[in-house]
Structure 1
Amino acid sequence: LVNGVANAVTNVAIEPQAKTVTLTLSTAVTSDQTVTVAYADPTTGNDANAIQDAAGNDATSFAATAVTNNTPAPVDTTAPALIITGDSRPKVTGDQLVLSFSDTGNLDADPTHTPANGAFTVLV
């Protein structure tokens, strides 16, 4: 379930030495979604239509279990843009001129990434 809604499994792959089962989902999961997984052994006996060990022992069914969502957040490819209208437009008070930018994330505050003073031209 993804955010409580079923997401169909389109393929099951087993890696015997790593002891993993990889499920391919019909719809990709995004970074902000909650995921759970449940498994139902199809029969009460040991059979080839179940997750099994090499000796043929079926894995037991399990109820909805939380899944760690390692899907990375989308990459920000939109550059910050100066806001030139409304209450956030550029403003000056004495010797401080404040520029506000729109962006999907925060501005980079790393001091090694600060523009040089000469990158700006201020005319009074």
Structure 2
Amino acid sequence: AISVNSVAVSGKTVTLTLSRTVATAETVTVSYTKPTGDNVVQDTAGNDAVSFSNQAVTHGTTAADTTPPVLITTGDSGPKVTGNQLTLTYTDASNLDAVNTAAASG
């Protein structure tokens, strides 16, 4: 079980802030047991939400990119030289990291 750190209500939406990040490989379900007394989910007319259990949750966290970039070696995107510039283009689902890159000696 993952504990809840806080609850926020806005209109028809209840957002639970969990105690940790949910990994993309985890299956998530949510249950709600209507408590007796105060601190219940209810509408502005005072109607209490009913209990539910093991409701499947859609995972909105995208999976980590684990596909390494591969040099494109053919066609218009293949390696090319213009003057003193050698251009290499890679395949990848996202952009290359401009900060963590190989040194010129690499």
What is the TM-score normalised by the length of structure 1? 0.55
Say if 1:58 and 1:73 are closer, same or farther in 2 by CA, change over 3 A. Answer: same
Matched, 1:60 2:50: yes
Who wins on radius of gyration, i.e. which is larger? 1
Matched, 1:51 2:41: yes
Matched, 1:31 2:24: yes
Offset from partner CA, 1:28-62 (integer Å, 9 cap, x none) = 1122211100000002xxx5410000011100000
Q: Counterpart of 1:69 in 2: which secondary structure? A: coil
Separation of aligned partners in 2, 1:113 and 1:62: 57
The aligned counterpart of 1:95 is none
- Taking only aligned residues, the RMSD between alpha carbons, in angstroms, comes to 2.7
1:1-124 matches, within 5 Å, as: 6-16=1-11, 19-43=12-36, 47-74=37-64, 76=65, 104-105=66-67, 107=69, 114-116=77-79
Say if 1:24 and 1:113 are closer, same or farther in 2 by CA, change over 3 A. Answer: farther
1:114 Cα deviation after fit: 3.6
1:116 Cα deviation after fit: 2.4
1:115 Cα deviation after fit: 2.3
Separation of aligned partners in 2, 1:26 and 1:113: 49
Separation of aligned partners in 1, 2:60 and 2:16: 15
- Where has structure 1 moved over 4 Å in runs of 4 or more? 106-113
Say if 1:59 and 1:106 are closer, same or farther in 2 by CA, change over 3 A. Answer: same
Separation of aligned partners in 1, 2:40 and 2:76: 55
Say if 1:114 and 1:20 are closer, same or farther in 2 by CA, change over 3 A. Answer: same
% same residue? 46
Q: Which runs of 5+ in 2 are unaligned?
A: 87-106
